[in-house]
Structure 1
Amino acid sequence: MTGAASYQFRPVTMDDLPLLAAWRSTAHVRQWWGAFEPYSPEALSDARVARWIVSTAGRPFAFIQDYSVHGWDDHHFAALPEGSRGIDQFIGDPAMVGIGHGTAFIGARIRALFENGAPVVATDPHPDNARAIAVCRKLGFVPSGPPQETAWGPILPMLARRPGQ
């Protein structure tokens, strides 16, 4: 990958479900995300979560979602400042793994969230997902506590703060 790669983010639609199902069936995604449960139209219209298909050079290759950490009463990031966002993501296309796209597209999304006013961006990789944790660290995330068990499974809570805060 070159530093000149640019990324496009478009909202997930019902038409994307076969693509997401295919990506979620690959071993490298299924290991951390489990079986795919298709989104309903109601889930895709949930204002708490923005879900995106990521493309580069016209090629869709990844999924990222950002969400209000205050959208659920019992969310493990609910104590963060108002306006904070959480992120989850994966590269679906196995040919795009390990060549720098993850760091680049996640970094682009984080910058957009900060530009839109998020004071903190949180993420919660599985504590055993060394690749995801390494990418998060490269992007300025730091652990905000020890690994813990949540309603969504085991996590390592990590935070990145808007520059200057």
Structure 2
Amino acid sequence: MTTAREYDFRKVTMDDMPMLLEWQAQPHVREWWDSDEQYDQEELDDPRVSRWIVLVDGSPFAFMQDYSVHGWEEHHFAHLPKGTRGIDQYIGDPAMIGVGHGTAFIGARMGVLYDSGAPVIATDPHPDNERAIAVYSKLGFEPSGQPQETQWGRILPMLARP
């Protein structure tokens, strides 16, 4: 388990693409994150999505994004209140898995989102991703329906409120 640490979040830039592609090639990421496409500048500038490199002690080790659930037509979370944010993330560095970093940095980002006015935070892990579901449950997320197919793949909808 990690000791209390501070996590920093910096915006993803085009300079991060080689690192992100390296992380996405890791088997533990590839199992659940099915894209190995590089972002382009237009995607990084998309106001619907905030993409972050997560750092601890100044070292990058994870990727996280939060997004407006109302930014896409027919999004599976579009029924949620205005201001709701969705989150996705992965730990890129395999040495950082299983020691509490996921729970810690996701919780830190959730605090920022709540402080910014998000009434609900939504996430949608694959129903078979037991590790992610366990982490989300520790952070107060609860399933909000049955597993379902979406345009982004099979998901278990989960919600957390402040």
TM-score, structure 2 normalization = 0.98
User: What does residue 155 of structure 2 align with?
Assistant: 155
Question: How do 1:65-104 and structure 2 match up within 5 A?
Answer: 65-104=65-104
Aligned residues: 162
Where does the alignment leave 5 or more consecutive residues of structure 1 unmatched?
none
* Distance (Å, rounded) in 1 between the aligned partners of 2:121 and 2:60: 24
Flag as ranges the 4+ runs of structure 1 deviating above 3 A.
none
Residue type of the alignment partner of 1:90: Y
* Distance (Å, rounded) in 2 between the aligned partners of 1:159 and 1:4: 25
C-alpha deviation, 1:108, in angstroms: 0.2
C-alpha deviation, 1:3, in angstroms: 3.0
8 Å CA contact 1:146–1:157 kept in 2: the answer is: yes
Q: Secondary structure at the match of 1:95?
A: helix
Deviations 1:129-162 (A, max 9, x none): 0000000000000000000000000000000012
Q: Secondary structure at the match of 1:33?
A: coil
Q: Secondary structure at the match of 1:136?
A: helix
C-alpha deviation, 1:73, in angstroms: 1.2
8 Å CA contact 1:54–1:62 kept in 2: the answer is: yes
* Distance (Å, rounded) in 1 between the aligned partners of 2:145 and 2:10: 33
Q: Is 2:131 aligned against 1:131?
A: yes
Q: Secondary structure at the match of 2:32?
A: helix
RMSD of aligned C-alpha atoms?
0.7
Q: Secondary structure at the match of 1:32?
A: coil
8 Å CA contact 2:7–2:54 kept in 1: the answer is: yes
